């Protein structure tokens, strides 16, 4: 399956080619003027099943897996309670990109994306170098003190189930080892497991794995987007209110966090901009190139869309 064809960098897959962020003119100006990517709160993304769908799927696989394992039912009950609580507390903020899975003469120029994200307005797709995005994620983790990762979305249920089973298998082995050390004749109660430091350490590791998985989870109906995500995890929103801003969006006032990218720096991740279909695209290309020179932004290729799509 396609999701298994990625090259690996440690435990993280490697994208092939640039990753494209589709937006309209207002979005482009916001990025250029602030020199930031805007990470949107997950509740305001276009998939209505974000996070809850991931949790439901995780629990369904967990229930099947627990029946196959010789493991205390109390452990699995405590595990589910822990993940449900975490799903309520953890707030991921997301920047979405689209990967070109097939070789294309005109990457970053897909009609479905123009229709979906430009909304009959002038569209732009911004091509980012994934390795620089990874470096940016590491820098943001250090500078902001918030875990930031670049991850591909998983759409196929078999792939999702395989990811969940790998997570559960790793942590079931840890549980069994600690069980032998800590449990005598009686089975532990859920409350004892939650409070026990040894089991809490297992839960913390699994919670991290679950957060990453849930951020990758995407309904199969969105599969053609081939989405990658730069995900910023906010575990205590109240203490981060100074970093959170608001903008008008299709779902109301939308919380977001600005992620500095350093457009004028040599290692800026922005490498290419495709100006979407319009009757004025050549003029827009010329104007953007001139504006980049004035702003001191170099190394960005600005090109017009090759799709003869007319929406004016």
pLDDT greater than 80 at residue 151: yes
Q: pLDDT tens-digit profile of 227-242?
A: 999 999 887 655 567 8
* Lowest pLDDT segment from 68-72, 197-201, 306-310: 68-72
Which phi and psi (to 5°) does residue 248 adopt?
-80, 135
Residues belonging to the chain: 312
Locate the domains of the chain by residue range. 2-304
| Measured distance CA(218)–CA(138) in Å, rounded | 24
pLDDT greater than 80 at residue 188: no
pLDDT greater than 70 at residue 28: yes
Q: pLDDT tens-digit profile of 49-60?
A: 777 788 888 878
Q: pLDDT tens-digit profile of 249-304?
A: 888 899 999 999 999 998 899 999 999 999 999 999 999 999 999 999 999 999 99
Q: What is the pLDDT of residue 142?
A: 85
pLDDT greater than 70 at residue 182: no
pTM for this prediction: 0.83
**Mean pLDDT across 64-83:** 66
| Measured distance CA(57)–CA(156) in Å, rounded | 12
Q: Which of these, 83, 75, 63, lies nearest to 198 by C-alpha position?
A: 75
Q: pLDDT tens-digit profile of 94-141?
A: 999 999 877 778 999 999 999 988 877 899 999 999 999 999 999 988
Distances 262 to 27, 61, 296, 298, 307 between C-alpha atoms, Å: 17, 42, 11, 11, 31
């Amino acid at each position: 399956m396609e999701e298994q064809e990625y090259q690996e960098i440690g435990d993280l897959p490697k994208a092939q080619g640039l990753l494209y962020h589709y937006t309209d003119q207002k979005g482009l100006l916001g990025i250029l003027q602030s020199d930031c990517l805007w990470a949107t709160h997950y509740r305001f993304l276009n998939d209505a099943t974000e996070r809850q769908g991931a949790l439901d799927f995780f629990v369904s696989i967990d229930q099947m897996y627990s029946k196959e394992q010789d493991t205390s039912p109390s452990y699995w009950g405590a595990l589910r309670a822990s993940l449900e609580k975490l799903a309520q507390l953890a707030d991921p903020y997301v920047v979405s990109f689209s990967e070109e899975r097939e070789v294309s003469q005109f990457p970053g120029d897909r009609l479905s994306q123009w229709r979906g994200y430009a909304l009959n307005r002038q569209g732009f797709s911004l091509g980012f170098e994934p390795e620089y995005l990874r470096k940016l994620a590491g820098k943001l983790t250090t500078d902001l003190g918030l875990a930031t990762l670049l991850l591909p979305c998983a759409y196929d249920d078999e792939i999702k189930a395989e990811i969940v089973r790998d997570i559960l298998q790793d942590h079931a082995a840890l549980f069994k080892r600690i069980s032998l050390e800590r449990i005598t004749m009686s089975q532990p109660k859920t409350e004892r497991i939650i409070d026990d430091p040894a089991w809490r350490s297992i839960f913390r590791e699994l919670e991290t794995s679950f957060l990453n998985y849930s951020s990758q989870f995407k309904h199969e109906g969105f599969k053609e987007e081939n989405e990658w995500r730069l995900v910023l995890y906010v575990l205590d929103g109240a203490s981060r209110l100074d970093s959170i801003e608001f903008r008008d969006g299709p779902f109301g006032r939308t919380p977001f966090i600005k992620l500095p990218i350093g457009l004028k720096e040599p290692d800026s991740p922005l490498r290419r901009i495709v100006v979407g279909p319009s009757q004025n695209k050549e003029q827009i290309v010329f104007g953007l190139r001139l504006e980049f020179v004035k702003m001191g932004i170099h190394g960005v290729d600005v090109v017009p869309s090759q799709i003869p799509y007319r929406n004016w």
